[in-house]
Each structure stands twice: as structure tokens, then as C-alpha cells.
Structure 1
């Protein structure tokens, strides 16, 4: 938790240089916020966070390369005893993205359509360890609590995404670095949770429930 009299030390991660420049220009003018660094990829932001120890990392989810914003968030939030708070800032609002980001340790989840003032407030809240969600995200979370569906684990969501791309068990195992037997076990659990018995039906239900990116 930061001293209320000190500026929030912020790092920005987005793989688009123009977006980073725009965010930096916007945030440099915000009271009580100091941008101390920026990165354009998952490995870069993980290394930067370890080196500069920001209070908050503003994280995009869709990053180029092998490490997306979810994995970068997981590594940052599990790196030390007092890791930075990660505030997701993205255009994506699927249930899969929200679930995976929160499971990875994100403190808040904002959409890029938010007004600047909402972003400033969320950054200050994140620095104090308080959760901030964009209104559409909060509505989705509340609806899921009121109408609970069987919860898929991050690994099951990963496998569903591979199914949606038409991969077979062997290809999924290779892509996720797990055994075919493990893939089959996860598929059985996915089918049970979604109430289906075929791959096509699993993908159809997942798409309907917006579980896929």
C-alpha cells in the first residue's frame, strides 16, 4: 500500500507504441501519478517490474509474442512477497478473459472505453489494493454470481480455446506442453461442466456463454 502523500509509481504495458505514448501523455498530466516505465511485451514488463518495483502495472491482455498479459500478470503478482498491483486495461470483456485475469492476480479490470477520470481513480484505488471494475465487467460478475454456472479452470479454458481452433488431442498436448492423457482428463471435466458430450457442442456452449476470446 502506498503513502497517500506520495505519487503512485506506475508502469505501462501495451504492445502498441502509439497506445503507450497516448497513455503516457494522458497519465503524465494526472495528479498523483508518476509513470516510471513502459514495456511492449510480457517479458519486458516482468523484467521492468522486477527492476523498478512500481506500485501499479497497467496491463493490456493481448500482447505479441509467447507471453500474453495474463501470464505476465501471474508472474508479476507471484514474484515477491510485496508485488505490484496489476490493473488490466483492455478492449476484451469475455468471461474467459475476466476469469483468467482475476485468477492470475489482477487487482482491477477496466475497458479502454472508460473516461480518463475513471482510469485515474482506478489507478489510485489499485495502489491501495482496492478492486475496481468497469461497469460492464461488474455487471457480468454480479450476473454470474446470481446465476452461477460451473466454473472452468484456467487450464480448461486454455484447452477450450485450442478446441475452438480445431486442434486434436495430440496437437493440444503439444501446444500446452502436457500429455495426451491429461488433455483427455480435462476434456472429460469440461464436458461434465458444460453438460455436453462432443467437442463441437463444447465449443458451441462456450461461445454462447462467451467463455472464449
Structure 2
């Protein structure tokens, strides 16, 4: 499917950076098949807007402001409250771990902010058509395979360990691509506190660094199959 053949679609945009929102509205709004029905800086504004102006697709950032809901919970909320709406994640954290988490939470598409307009349009088009692309499209940061979509979230498995609620929270944010400073800001904690919680979680899981955390994610997936 080419982006020129994109069907008529209403689109709501969520990003906490005004420059990014303005650029998306300008570029996507110029496409003849896209009608922008909302441009929002917070998840609360988005949810209020969707009640007044429903959208076929929500294009949302994954890591929002420090006091906003995290990407995983936002996707789940959107799927629960607006089941007919397609959720496409547009993020600077376009790594395999973040993509896997987003898709497991219920997102219909995933694309990195470093990608061009054509890739964003393609992600929207595929979401509208409920298409899981060929693996060769994964370089665009799109969808995981159907197998990955059906795999159990690694965080559910990690939560069964001796981790405290805050240690679990820190690990989830790490897998979303957030730094210790980002996490501290998001939850109004001291960076040293976040660092201590992260080290404690790693010790309980028997791992030493972020790379091992991402490897553990894949091992936990395989252990449940």
C-alpha cells in the first residue's frame, strides 16, 4: 500500500513538545487524505478532545511530560476507551525493546522520530488497514511480527520476582528508554534514589547493566512459549 492511496482518515496528535506538534500538523495536515481533529500537549487534553472529536488514528509520543501518564498506560487507556481508534506511536526511543512493549500494550504501529514523513504516513496507512508488514519493513520501526504481538509482556514476568513496586516502575521506564534523570523527573525523586532502586532491582534479577536487562526480556519471552 502506498501513502498516496491512504484512505480518508481523521488524526489526533499528542506530543509534549510544541515544535514537534506544529511540524506534524503542518506536514500531515497538508496530505489530502488526512484531517487533523486535535493537537494536544498532554494525555488529559487528548482524552477530552477525543470525546468531542473522535479520531480514526492517534499519533502519540511514548515518553510524555514528567507529570503525565507513561506510554504503556496511555496506550491501554486509549484501547479501552476508544477501541475503534488506531494507536500509532511516534518516538525518539525507537529501539526494539520500546517497540515490543508498545505493541504488546496494544499499539497498532510504531515509527521513530528520526524517520521521514513517508514512514509516518506508511505507519498510519498500515494501522488503518490492520496490516502487519513483511519483516523487511521493520527497519522503519513499524510493527513486530504476529508472534511478538501474542507474546506475554516481560514486565508481567519480572513483576513476579521480589521487586518492590518502585523497583518495578524503574525497570519499566528503563525499558521505555528513559534515563535515570528522566525517571527522577517523572516521579519527583532524587536521581540517587532512582539509581539505588535500579541497582537493587538488577541485583535481585541477577543482572548487571541495561544490556542484560534487554537480554532478559527476550529470555523471559522464550521461557513462556
The alpha-carbon distance between structure 1 residues 6 and 207, as it changes in their structure 2 partners (threshold 3 A), is: closer
Partners of 1:74 and 1:24 in 2: how far apart?
24
> Paired residue for 2:170, among 162, 165, 180?
162
Partner secondary structure for residue 67 of structure 1: coil
Summarize the Cα distance change of 1:159–1:168 in structure 2 as closer, same or farther, 3 Å threshold: closer
Q: What is the alpha-carbon distance in structure 1 between the residues aligned to residue 64 and residue 36 of structure 2?
A: 20
Note if contact 1:42-1:69 (Cα within 8 Å) is conserved in structure 2. Answer: no
TM-score normalised to structure 1 length:
0.67
Kindly state the Cα deviation for residue 161 of structure 1 after the two structures are TM-superposed: 5.4
Q: 209, 215, 218: which is aligned to 1:209?
A: 215
| Shift in Å, 1:209 | 3.3
Structure 1's unaligned 5+ residue stretches are 173-186, 192-197
Q: TM-score, normalised by structure 2?
A: 0.64
Q: Which runs of 5+ in 2 are unaligned?
A: 160-165, 175-193, 218-225
- Within-5 A mapping of 1:54-65: 54-64=55-65, 65=67
Q: Secondary structure at the match of 1:209?
A: helix
Once the two structures are superposed, what CA deviation does each residue of 1:4-32 show, in whole Å capped at 9, x if it has no partner?
89620000000001100000000111121
User: How many angstroms does 1:135 deviate by?
Assistant: 1.1
Q: Confirm or deny: 8 A CA contact 1:86 1:106 kept in the other structure.
A: yes
Number of residues of Structure 1 aligned to a counterpart in Structure 2:
177
Cα distance in 1 for partners of 2:15, 2:157 equals: 24
Question: 2:68 corresponds to which residue?
Answer: 66
Counting only pairs closer than 5 Å after superposition, residues 1-213 of structure 1 correspond to structure 2 as 7-64=8-65, 65-80=67-82, 82-131=83-132, 134-135=138-139, 137=141, 141=144, 152-153=154-155, 156=158, 159-160=167-168, 162=170, 165-168=194-197, 198-199=203-204, 201-204=206-209, 206-207=212-213, 209=215
In 1, the alpha carbon distance for the partners of 2:155 and 2:93 equals 19
Contact 1:62 1:68 in 2 (8 A): yes
